[in-house]
Amino acid sequence: MVKEPGRFPAGVAGTVIDKIGYHGFLTFELELDGVRVPESDRLTGLYGDEGAGADAGGFAAVQRGLNIARVHTAARAVGVARAAVEDCQLYLQEREQFGRPIGEFQALRFALADMAAEVNQARAFWRQAAHLLDQGEAAESESAMVKLLATEMAVKVTNQAMQLHGGNGYTTERRVERYWRDARLTTIFEGTSEIQRRIISDRMLGKA
Ligand SMILES: Cc1cc2nc3c(=O)[nH]c(=O)nc-3n(C[C@H](O)[C@H](O)[C@H](O)COP(=O)(O)OP(=O)(O)OC[C@H]3O[C@@H](n4cnc5c(N)ncnc54)[C@H](O)[C@@H]3O)c2cc1C
């Protein structure tokens, strides 16, 4: 863990937490000590209307933001899985074993077909959920469903992509190991898969 002095406003300190993937952004443990936020810095717009209090509109406003973030995470999952499929499509034609490209082995061809179909299925659902949000609907169930399905799909597809790359897949010489590590986060942040299942089932059966 590395302290990052000077990065934050007065009263805020952050310590970088090492991660196994998603190195495109840093993750911090934050400490707040006597921090005051000016009125002009209150969040508005995406995360709700100005003046929404924690007791009334505040929680609903945060929920709206979370629904958007879940559909956003589904898009990330689709993207990383799609990249894994594209790499596999190339690798199956490039890598030769037993005197022929491994893409001639039916088991691998069918695995690639399943992966491509699952990515497209998740992508279609993601577009549907994003459309609902664009129409101004809360889409709470749909956001949870697409987050659950797209991220679990990404874990499965990137895992299979590593398998199709054989030993090369487990090295840092191929991008597939990064897709595998990055996909793994998507089932955890913005609410775990278990929490998405809870949101969906609560909507269907009422809160347990
Ligand atoms: C790289 C990274 C970036 C992040 N960025 C942000 C960010 O920008 N903003 C932010 O607010 N958070 C962020 N988070 C936090 C992230 O959203 C949480 O880690 C995630 O929601 C899971 O919460 P938790 O870690 O407290 O797990 P826990 O709640 O401790 O869960 C542990 C296990 O218990 C299960 N579980 C917990 N409650 C229930 C329940 N009621 N029913 C069934 N199972 C349950 C979980 O599914 C999980 O399997 C980030 C996390 C990571 C790793």
Atom of ligand 1 nearest to the CA of 25: 1
Ligand 1 binding pocket mutation candidate from 25, 192, 207 (most atoms within 8 A of CB): 192
In the chain, residues under CATH classification 1.20.140.10 are: 57-205
Q: Could you name the CATH architecture of 57-205?
A: Up-down Bundle (1.20)
At 170-189, the pLDDT tens digits run 999 999 999 999 999 999 99
pTM of the model: 0.91
Burial class of 128 by CB neighbour count within 10 A (0 to 12, 13 to 18, 19+): middle
Structure tokens at 201: 């089932």
C-beta separation of 91 from 164 below 8 A: yes
At 24-40, the pLDDT tens digits run 999 999 999 999 888 87
Backbone φ/ψ region at 105: left (φ over 0), alpha (ψ -120 to 50), beta: beta
Amino acid at 120: N
Ligand 1 midpoint to CA 43 (Å): 23
Backbone angles phi, psi at 100, to 5 degrees: -150, 160
At 119-132, the pLDDT tens digits run 999 999 999 999 99
Q: So what's the pLDDT on residue 58? A: 66
Alpha-carbon span 4 to 21, nearest angstrom: 20
**34-43, 107-116, 120-129, 139-148: segment of lowest average pLDDT:** 34-43
